[in-house]
Structure 1
């Protein structure tokens, strides 16, 4: 019950709200959307204020937590509050509050691909009575009437207007200034509740907006200006540091999502990775663990996946979640053995785990609980002990392998693509290495994926797509070979063409688990023989990975 939010209602004058913003006590958290209101909406809002119309309440979260928040509104820098002071974060009312403050300060707001908006250029028509149905606040100065900017009204001495406007209009200006400053806005204060509750409230009251992600919440929670820690920027540098330091783009692992990185941190800190546990992470623990998780966990794990299991790019990973137990292992292994390298036994056991988890579609559901179970398997591997697996899950079904349709969204297929990639596939034309790239491997119609028996050819032979589009009919090639040389030719034709150019084509074919041209039915275009024979070779490789000799 302690997590239930405590609401109080009160009223603040606009003058008080402006002062709180200027003193740094009212802040807009970084997870709020960008300021999007234009001058038309801002002018109409102020017109409502001057006429005493209600403009809705504000919801503020009162807390001593320091979150990542907006540092400026346009060209107006916002100060930080005093240490120990309460901060009021805006959960609802950002656009209204920002518009009014921008007018008060005469802010110049630049929007991407748009002309800058100068909020000094919002005028009040002194010729109209306050109770008119017309808008007394306008965006353009009308030279037929006496107009004055709202910025001048709120920021200049009243006496400075006498010479230009005369006493009657100066009295009206003073009345308008008082109306703005004394305008009362209903405030709903949410006091000292946990960040995740505040974020849930924000999401629910902003039903038309984007639901906050766990990462956005944790970015807000862990922000620390004094230690120069911003989780969103740290993640950006982890993916791509623009040459400043090692990053995942250097390894072609730049598609690792934010959520997985959070789980890597949580696994290291508390061996638990659920959303609930991540939200409970202590800010200082996250900051202090960041470099450890990055340098001793994620980077060594990626290096192992690339160099030992030979998963060349992150898009081929059957599950990004696999990075979590691997990162956990390398941190624990470093703590125990003082080294990032693995023993021969550990290499085999980690490879076994990778293929077991992938071929059993382990992380299709219940991911956090399964990761937590698998951390115990990693503890065993750290000690050079084989984890326990259900016997049935270490067997390869020959029938399932033959019938498995090709899909880059399924872990089983991706595991087989990893097996193909780990065999160092060669170009059939010249035995050069195949270049695999994240940008090419995300979709099933990627130029890296070639049906050895082209589907267009098989359709002409009345073999339907269910039988043609199977994983055992897939090899990894480069774009040029796939689209421009092979096309829809039968293998008997294009393999003979390559044989005239490549006198060691058998080596290239073996790199694709095609061991015997005759036996695999290539020269007589025997698709059934090809699938059966390739299944035998691939299944042998899978068995060796799932049942390593220790």
Structure 2
């Protein structure tokens, strides 16, 4: 058996044979077949045209595989019992010695069997019940592969080969299951020219016969020459390693979904009581997890935070034991939130976590308030998985026996974690990889918190905490006030650092200064616009202001800098976007008082900044520099243990 990942190519016949002989099987965690008939027809068209049809990912399995494998199947309906049944593809008597698990490619494999092997439900009311044809009578090659439902086949009399060919239809799957591809398509070409199968007076002229013959020849060539790529993963890899490999390499254009793997065994082990994705859907509606529980965009984030809660619990006899991940010889210690750790997280932990959904959601919401005094979505957070450290420590505080905590409080955690979070963010420490570091950092904070009872007063303890954290994140690595001001005044740095620089103003403001909401439907703050509009800057980049407003002629990009950005609703921005701030504020009669003052202060525009905005052209650079210093002041403050 091979020891390294290998890439190979298989013909359509070889693919169908592997599926029919059940050498290729589907793990139960794979999602059911969801393609529609037009997608199947599209894949079949690519095959007969000789176009690339992608790749499947296979995993070599031992004879005593721990994964539940089953033949390729689709849903059917038993009219007599009036119940759903499963229809399996292939030979029931097949008992191959070597089996491959299809990790990625069930949809494509099922589509090939439907199109070229006639695999279809028996119940006529099923949407897949029917047959795929090459309609050679059509002129448009893009529409030549058609699907006809069982009822249409009966109505149009397409129930035998001769009737089909007489009407220009050539079944992609032979009526004779024992025929080879060569026999099938050679037979089509022979019958195409047989006048006796056509109704009287309907035999096509020679030009049409020649055209259809050419179509058949090309289709046969496409079917015999088209190859399906196969990426085969050796048996020595376990499921956790496979998930990590494909998250990095993404060889097939799709990721092996860790969440779907977890969902599968949770359903099995809880008798279909715990559906992970449905729980995530419910979670996405709760205040603390709006913008964080995103089952369609990033489902693994909630799974990672959930496993972080398990990592944070003390190793007591009451702590559930890790699961053995399929493909591994024994259970592994869960110390981080890599894919293998998520897969090993025990079912009892998931059940307990779901039973305490409200607290889990609250802890994620508290994380947001602790680090930025407000709410924000994961898309706005530098290193969102780092929330798992905070949520995990809250979980430890809430569910581990009180005697194991020490004398620390949630307020103590908030102070320590906030400083730690912001030092990491402004040092971009996690750019080199957070997953392997999370367990170590959690233990560091846990030890600092647990040591509080060893000190006679809070000042001594915070001094100790400062020393311990500084060893892990030296002050020399954290951006200084001067460096932050420089970053805030010169374009946008991108990545996690940009998210960190923007976060304080994004999280603090829920409405703009005119009272319009800034939140998207998923709870994330998305309405960031230029204070001095880009269009206005371009139009005024001349004379003494060319070096300030002309992006191409200066070393610093003030116009696109963070100091020139502010959360503003789309409605307000549409009114403002072609005017200077001074003109807009004057037209709207906006003064710095009441709710307006509060809204501006939240986005780092104090009264001095406001007056500079109203001051016209001569105050532009002074405004940007003043505001950059205010943001930098707050960022530095957030890194301090107070």
Q: Distance in 2 between matches of 1:191 and 1:137?
A: 43
Post-superposition offset of 1:546: 0.9
With the length of structure 1 as denominator, give the TM-score of the two structures: 0.65
Q: Distance in 1 between matches of 2:343 and 2:251?
A: 31
What secondary structure is seen at the aligned counterpart in 1 of 2:603? coil
Q: Distance in 2 between matches of 1:286 and 1:59?
A: 24
Q: Is 1:414–2:507 an aligned residue pair?
A: no
Per-residue CA deviation, residues 144-181 of structure 1 (Å, 9 max, x unaligned), is: 659xxxxxxxxxxxxxxxxxxxxxxxxxxxxxxxxxxx
Name the residue aligned to 2:476: 392
Q: 1:306 to 1:197 in 2, by over 3 A?
A: closer
Q: 1:264 to 1:252 in 2, by over 3 A?
A: closer
What secondary structure is seen at the aligned counterpart in 2 of 1:517? helix
- Choose the corresponding residue for 2:365, options 297, 303, 310: 303
What secondary structure is seen at the aligned counterpart in 2 of 1:289? helix
Post-superposition offset of 1:388: 1.0
Name the residue aligned to 1:257: 298
Q: Distance in 2 between matches of 1:190 and 1:500?
A: 65
Post-superposition offset of 1:349: 1.6
Name the residue aligned to 2:376: 313
Q: Distance in 2 between matches of 1:498 and 1:381?
A: 52
Question: Does the Cα contact within 8 Å between 1:26 and 1:88 map onto a contact in 2?
Answer: yes
Question: Does the Cα contact within 8 Å between 1:68 and 1:220 map onto a contact in 2?
Answer: no
What secondary structure is seen at the aligned counterpart in 2 of 1:252? coil
Q: Is 1:495–2:574 an aligned residue pair?
A: no
Question: Does the Cα contact within 8 Å between 1:224 and 1:230 map onto a contact in 2?
Answer: yes
Q: Distance in 1 between matches of 2:253 and 2:633?
A: 48
Q: Is 1:287–2:347 an aligned residue pair?
A: yes
Q: Is 1:355–2:422 an aligned residue pair?
A: yes
How many residue pairs were aligned?
Answer: 466
Q: 1:394 to 1:134 in 2, by over 3 A?
A: closer
Name the residue aligned to 1:66: 68
Question: Does the Cα contact within 8 Å between 1:406 and 1:413 map onto a contact in 2?
Answer: no
> Structure 1, unaligned stretches of length 5 or more?
6-11, 46-57, 147-188
Post-superposition offset of 1:193: 5.8
Q: 1:20 to 1:262 in 2, by over 3 A?
A: same
What secondary structure is seen at the aligned counterpart in 2 of 1:450? strand
Question: Does the Cα contact within 8 Å between 1:110 and 1:116 map onto a contact in 2?
Answer: no
With the length of structure 2 as denominator, give the TM-score of the two structures: 0.57
Q: Is 1:110–2:123 an aligned residue pair?
A: no
> Structure 2, unaligned stretches of length 5 or more?
6-13, 49-57, 78-84, 130-144, 166-178, 199-231, 312-332, 453-460, 552-556
Per-residue CA deviation, residues 197-250 of structure 1 (Å, 9 max, x unaligned), is: 9969x98xxx9943433526734873543524599x513531x23x9x965796
Q: Distance in 1 between matches of 2:306 and 2:609?
A: 52
Question: Does the Cα contact within 8 Å between 2:531 and 2:565 map onto a contact in 1?
Answer: yes
Q: Is 1:237–2:327 an aligned residue pair?
A: no
What secondary structure is seen at the aligned counterpart in 1 of 2:300? helix
What secondary structure is seen at the aligned counterpart in 2 of 1:348? helix
- Choose the corresponding residue for 1:379, options 428, 446, 449: 446
Q: Distance in 2 between matches of 1:546 and 1:261?
A: 26
Q: Distance in 2 between matches of 1:291 and 1:59?
A: 30
Q: 1:409 to 1:531 in 2, by over 3 A?
A: same
Q: Distance in 2 between matches of 1:224 and 1:312?
A: 33
Q: Is 1:330–2:421 an aligned residue pair?
A: no
Question: Does the Cα contact within 8 Å between 1:457 and 1:490 map onto a contact in 2?
Answer: yes
Question: Does the Cα contact within 8 Å between 1:312 and 1:436 map onto a contact in 2?
Answer: no
Per-residue CA deviation, residues 452-478 of structure 1 (Å, 9 max, x unaligned), is: 222333331322331211112222122
Q: Distance in 2 between matches of 1:135 and 1:492?
A: 82
